[in-house]
A and B are shown apart, each in its own frame.
Chain A
Amino acid sequence: MDRRALTPPPVIARTTLLVLLGLLVLVIASFTSLDMQWGELFSADALRSSREFLGGFAPPEMAIPFLRKVAQATWETFSMSALGTLLALLLGLALALPGSGRFGSAARVVVRLLLNVLRSIPELVWAVILLIAAGLGPFAGTLALAAHTTGVLGRLFADALENLPREHEETLRINGATPMTAFCYAALPQILPQLLSYTLYRWENNIRAAAILGVVGAGGLGQMLKYHLSLFHMQQAATVILAMLLMIMLVDGASFWLRRKLNGV
């Protein structure tokens, strides 16, 4: 019988092994350095108290006046996310122009840095900072969403503009169009579908963010949730959580549908 030698096992590079080892060390260090109360978590006492805690959620509060308040907060959250995204779309587009090197490379570096800072601070941290300037309430939340999303969208738009072939715009420029006109008629129509689909995707993210921003006092459903949880109004809190889930699912559906329409499928 013809016996072929087995193919040799794949060689694992030493650096890959080192990376894996580093990962293992990171995981072990994480678990050992955190003072996790596993014992308390799984003791009979904890089980009973968490069962009591969870049992308190049922049934969710369904009185009409309360539902009306929840609906109002849901609308507030929805408005925050929509306005924040709209503001970010406009600001992001405005910053993407210098960010893609259209006003010189110095402006590009400065604007890119600004966009990176805007982007790397999460919405919730922005909200905490903006509460000082804008006061408690949904306005601070809207601005916080706008600040973070501007960073995200501005960078995506600037990248999209930089990756665009330049010929169309240059043809218009050579034939005497001003830079703004050339941009509006040559570059903008080409990136518009991409731009809108990014924006819709961010809106999906922002509706989730808007729902929780209230936890630090920036309005909407989160504020209601924090209020009722801190007073141990479990049934009301359950209704608020259900409203959050419902709103998130509806917006996901709407945005999925809109994106399919935009992409012409």
Chain B
Amino acid sequence: MVALVALLLLWPMLQASEFQPWILFDKQSLSATWQFLSGFVPPAHSPEFLAMLMAATWQTVAIATAGLVLALLAAIPLTLLATASLSVSRLESGRMRSVAVLVRQSARWLLVVLRSVPELVWALLFVRIVGLGPTAGVLAIALTYSGMLGKVYAEILESSDTDASAALLRNGSGRLAALCYGALPEAAAELVSYTTYRWECAIRGSVIMGFVGAGGIGQRMDESMKMLAGAEVSSMLLVFVLLVAAADQVSSFMRKRLL
């Protein structure tokens, strides 16, 4: 039954995605591809190109880092609002006050909206508002990632052991103190590890946003692609693969170090 439905769906899907593998092999497309790919070897390596590439790569990393820091600034207060286990009114009666429920739910909805819009769409919008350049990328990462971080932080805090923070709150500590001394020690490892993972994602994201004009290595790659400069594209791809691998290493090192 499932197989039949799948087969019936497959045909219109093939149609809709214009799935025609043979056009890959017609003469015109083969020669264009060949011409482009043959430029890949050797990769571009003139000193001024490499200097430009280094600057663009740093810009990509800087966009990701700055965006993530701004996202943290927004995500931490939103997490405080959205985390149910830090609710004071819930401790007494098992139910939250209706105002608290309202505030908490609206914080959650804000987080949902922030992270549901893809970062590239935010970047497209910000490029229209603040113009081409890294500012649009930083803002786009800040918005999307504050939604992601806020939601996951709240989930981590709620699913870790809440006895300590509940005891603190019962004895009259403030929420911030309960967070710092009760909830954070339980969840710190997981929070740090998720944040470094997101930093890695932000680097990938900031490359992609370059393609809509938000600066960094993506923007340079877009320009080289438009000129069909195979040699430049191949060295950019190499740098890109290395950058992702390095971010991977750094984030796994930090996770080990800070836990």
Contact = CB atoms under 8 A, between A and B. Distances in A.
Contacts of A135: 23, 29
Given A124-B211, A208-B118, A134 B17 contact: no
Interface of A: 15-16, 19, 23, 26-27, 29-31, 33-37, 40-41, 46, 49-50, 53, 75-76, 78-80, 82-83, 116-117, 120-122, 124-125, 128-129, 132-135, 137-139, 141-142, 208, 211-212, 215-216, 219, 222, 225-226, 229, 241, 244-245, 248-249
Given A36-B134, A76-B17, A142-B17, 6 more contacts: A49-B129, A79-B16, A121-B237, A122-B204, A226-B124, A244-B121
B135 A27 contact: no
A41 B138 CA distance: 12
B118 A211 contact: yes
A138 B17 contact: yes
Contact of A132 (B33, B120, B134, B207): B33
| Interface footprint category on B | 35 or more
Dominant SS among interface residues on chain B:
helix
Nearest to A145: B17
A121 B240 contact: yes
Dominant SS among interface residues on chain A:
helix
Nearest to B20: A139
B117 A245 contact: yes
A41 B130 contact: yes
A125 B19 contact: no
Interface of B: 9, 12-14, 16-20, 23-24, 29, 32-33, 36, 58-59, 61-63, 65-66, 69, 116-118, 120-121, 124-125, 128-131, 133-135, 138-139, 204, 207-208, 211-212, 221-222, 225, 228, 233, 237, 240-241, 244-245, 254, 257-258
Nearest to A128: B225
A139 B124 contact: no
A33 B58 contact: yes
Contact of A121 (B125, B228, B241, B257): B241
Which 6 pairs, one residue from A and one from B, show the smallest C-beta to C-beta distance?
Answer: A79-B13, A30-B62, A79-B16, A30-B65, A212-B120, A120-B244
